[in-house]
């Protein structure tokens, strides 16, 4: 399938004032986000410098190939947690082998995103509902927050499972390093406190600079406070990640999990900010940009990058209105890599752990969870189940569960749709009521609505409810009208079920009528032989026509019924 490339769509149109504004926004964005991408390396299990690599070439590649003017593509906590969890048993973190595996995950993810762009699979983002995405990110927040407690307490924690990590923390409380814990608490309280009162103040950057200065002046490393150590400077080395065939196969499920999160999270983020600024977003172009960004990450020694909701929000808050801001961000990172990596070796690990802990806290979206619980308790349970699986079992299992629950929720609505019967009220008006045996529209007539497409999973439900309504009607039924307005098609299995129902009702001298049949449904009904079973004269495009054809038969039935004693007749107009 051919692809039409629209390069630099996130940059155009240019204007001198807009470029200067976005360049200044990029400087602000760099001051807020460089500490965060350094912190994400603690989640990813990679050297600190790789965090800087994620906001160098990947940012440039998305600016070239993507369409969103606002989406910031960089290191992300969810994807970092996914691949670090999956790779934990394959190689020691931060080792050369581990980095090769990390880069190959990014390359596989890039390949999947490229296929998604070629086959225009951007719609896949719609299959991960907001409910389970909120639950997934909540679980990620808990998992990351607990994983950071070891470094915040200055304790060695080697377990990878959340439950085991908690157990090690509890067992080793007597080993807490109080100076390290004090630094961590100070960082966390300052970031959370100032975020509430002065959200634009780059507190993480101030924490990093202060931590570096204090560590250098007071020799934190010599006093038992862990620091990140030497950080190599200069540009990243471009190389192909070399892994074995067996290792490659083991990485595919991890890359699929990253792919799903990137598709869902990036699409949702770009949509939100596109709507906010009244701009059209080309999701397929953004997928290509994300593919190029991840390929750049793979070849430059970085890890999987994603469209980050938090960093995009920061960019918007800083005044960014195009990808010029992200290019300015990349320019600042380039200067840091060339001239300012040496001071980073003094940065206390507890400072980075504290920064990441605040990120984890931000992933737990309490307002959204409250809203879900208030509006849909059932969906709240789904969100909590997803969060629990992610936090306690694993991220890959959590993302698979999230997709499965999203699809299951959709199938459940189709399997058990709302069904209604038109019944007369005291004023003889026909009003819809939930379908249950014993209801009828008028003597001899039932008008019934089935609120979903007919397919193999719900066809028996449809037929059984029709039979139950007929069997328990107060008067013998002669006409059964189906409002097919919610049906767009019908599959083979459902068609056979409807034909059998037609034959059964014909033997019982009951006419089955379909109203509001659109052209697509009519074609399906014709192909599957339903029209020949019911008769062309009983298939209508409007409900007025469908009900009108029943009038003479119902009226004749009512006249016959009036001859019977003690038989009350409702005569709706």
Domains of the chain, first to last: 16-162+174-410 (no CATH), 418-562 (3.30.750.24)
Q: Is the pLDDT of residue 130 over 80?
A: no
User: Would you state the pLDDT for residue 184?
Assistant: 95
Determine contact, residues 424/442, Cβ cutoff 8 Å. Answer: yes
Q: For 59-118, what is each residue's pLDDT tens digit? A: 999 999 998 898 999 998 889 988 998 898 899 999 999 999 999 999 999 999 999 999
Strands 430-434 and 419-424: antiparallel
Query: Across 155-164, 350-359, 398-407, which has the greatest mean pLDDT?
Result: 350-359
Nearby residues of 136 by Cβ (< 8 Å), 6 or more positions away: 78, 261, 386, 387, 390, 398, 399, 402
Output the DSSP codes for 368-391.
Answer: HHHHHHHH-HHHHHHHHHHHHHHH
516: left (phi over 0), alpha (psi -120 to 50) or beta: left
pLDDT (average), residues 40-51: 92
Confidence of residue 386 (pLDDT cuts 50, 70, 90): confident
* Residue 272 banded pLDDT, cuts 50, 70, 90: low
Model confidence at 258: pLDDT above 60 = yes
Residue-level pLDDT at 77:
83
**Residue 267 — very low, low, confident or very high, per pLDDT cuts 50/70/90?**
confident
Which residue intervals of 376-447 are DSSP H helices?
377-392, 395-415
- In this prediction, residue 379 has a pLDDT band, given cuts at 50, 70 and 90, of confident
- For 399-457, write each residue's pLDDT tens digit: 677 777 777 877 777 888 999 999 988 887 888 999 999 999 999 999 999 999 999 99
Q: What is the 3-state secondary structure (H, E, C) of 66-124?
A: CCCCCCCEECCHHHHHHHHHHHCCCCCCCCHHHHHHHHHHHHHHHHHHHHHHHCCCHHH
Short-list 545, 476, 491, CA closest to 517: 545
Residue 126 clears pLDDT 80, i.e. is over it: no
CA dihedral (124, 130, 132, 135) positive or negative: positive
Residues 6+ apart with CB under 8 A from 86: 105, 251, 253, 254, 257, 395, 396
Integer Cα distance of 324 and 317 in angstroms: 15
CA distance 48 to 4: 37
Bridge partners for 420 per DSSP: 434, 449
544-572 pLDDT per residue, tens: 889 888 875 455 444 444 444 443 333 33
Q: Are strands 430-434 and 306-307 parallel, antiparallel or unpaired?
A: unpaired
Beta strands 306-307 and 479-483 are: unpaired
Q: Is the pLDDT of residue 287 over 50?
A: yes
**Mean pLDDT across the stretch 138-150?**
87
pLDDT digits (tens, 9 = 90+) for 498-523: 999 999 999 999 999 999 999 999 99
Helix (H, G, I), strand (E, B) or coil at 424: strand
pLDDT band with cut points at 50, 70 and 90 for residue 132: confident
Compute the half-sphere exposure of residue 118: CA atoms within 13 Å on the CB side of its CA: 8
pLDDT of amino acid 454: 93
Percentage with pLDDT > 90 across the chain: 51
| Integer angstrom CA distances of residue 227 from 215, 224, 346 | 8, 9, 6
Q: Nearest to residue 333, comparing CAs of 302, 363, 354, 374?
A: 302
Summarised one tens digit per residue, pLDDT across range 291-310 is: 999 999 999 999 999 988 76
Distance CA 564, CA 177 (A): 93
Looking at the DSSP assignment, which residues form a beta bridge with residue 432?
A: 422
- Give 173's strand partners: none
Distances (CA, A) of 130 to 67, 156, 237, 371, 415: 23, 36, 39, 12, 21
């Amino acid at each position: 399938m051919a692809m039409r490339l629209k390069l630099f769509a996130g940059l155009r149109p240019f204007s001198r004032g807009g470029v200067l504004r976005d360049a200044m926004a990029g400087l602000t964005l760099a001051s807020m986000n460089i500490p965060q991408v350094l912190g994400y390396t603690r989640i990813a299990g990679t050297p600190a410098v790789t965090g800087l690599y994620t906001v160098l070439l990947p940012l440039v590649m998305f600016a070239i190939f993507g369409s969103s003017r606002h989406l910031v593509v960089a290191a992300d906590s969810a994807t970092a947690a996914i691949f670090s969890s999956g790779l934990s048993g394959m190689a020691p973190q931060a080792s050369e082998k581990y980095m090769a595996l990390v880069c190959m995950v990014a390359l596989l993810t890039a390949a999947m995103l490229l296929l998604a762009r070629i086959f225009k699979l951007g719609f896949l983002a719609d299959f991960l509902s907001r409910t389970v995405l909120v639950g997934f990110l909540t679980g990620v927040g808990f998992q990351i927050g607990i994983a950071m407690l070891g470094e915040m307490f200055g304790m060695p924690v080697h377990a990878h499972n959340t439950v085991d990590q908690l157990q090690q923390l509890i067992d080793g409380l007597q080993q807490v390093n109080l100076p390290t814990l004090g630094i961590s608490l100070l960082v966390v309280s300052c970031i959370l406190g100032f975020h509430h009162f002065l959200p634009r103040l780059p507190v993480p950057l101030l924490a990093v600079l202060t931590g570096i200065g204090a560590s250098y002046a007071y020799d934190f490393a010599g006093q038992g406070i862990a620091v990140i150590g030497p950080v190599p400077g200069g540009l990243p080395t471009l190389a192909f990640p070399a892994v074995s065939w067996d290792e490659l196969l083991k990485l595919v499920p991890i890359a699929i999990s990253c792919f799903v999160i990137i598709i869902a999270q990036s699409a949702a983020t770009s949509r939100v900010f596109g709507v906010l600024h009244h701009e059209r977003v080309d999701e397929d172009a953004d997928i290509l940009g994300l593919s190029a960004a991840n390929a750049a990450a793979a070849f430059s020694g970085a890890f999987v990058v994603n469209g980050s909701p938090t960093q995009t929000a920061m960019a918007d808050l800083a005044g960014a209105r195009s990808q010029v801001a992200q290019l300015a961000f990349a320019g600042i990172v380039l200067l840091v890599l060339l001239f300012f990596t040496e001071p980073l070796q003094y940065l206390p690990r507890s400072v980075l752990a504290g920064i990441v802990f605040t990120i984890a806290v931000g992933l737990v979206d309490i307002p959204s969870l409250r809203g879900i619980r208030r509006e849909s308790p059932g969906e709240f349970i789904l969100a909590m189940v997803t969060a629990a699986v992610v936090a306690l079992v694993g991220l890959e299992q959590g993302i698979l569960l999230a997709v499965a629950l999203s699809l299951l929720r959709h199938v459940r609505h189709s399997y058990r749709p709302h069904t209604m019967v038109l019944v007369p009220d005291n004023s003889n008006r026909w009003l819809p009521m939930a379908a249950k045996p014993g209801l009828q529209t008028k003597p001899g007539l039932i008008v019934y609505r089935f609120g979903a497409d007919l397919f193999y999973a719900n066809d028996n439900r449809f037929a059984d409810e029709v039979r139950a309504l007929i069997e328990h009607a107060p008067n013998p039924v002669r006409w059964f009208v189906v409002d097919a307005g919610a049906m767009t098609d019908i599959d083979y299995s459902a068609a056979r079920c409807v034909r059998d129902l037609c034959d059964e009702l014909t033997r019982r001298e009951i006419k089955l009528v379909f109203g509001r049949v659109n052209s697509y449904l009519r074609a399906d009904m014709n192909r599957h032989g339903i029209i020949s079973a019911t008769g062309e004269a009983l298939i209508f495009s409007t409900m007025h026509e469908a009900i009108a054809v029943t009038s003479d038969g119902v009226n004749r039935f009512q006249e016959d019924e009036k001859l019977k004693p003690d038989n009350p007749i409702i005569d709706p107009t």
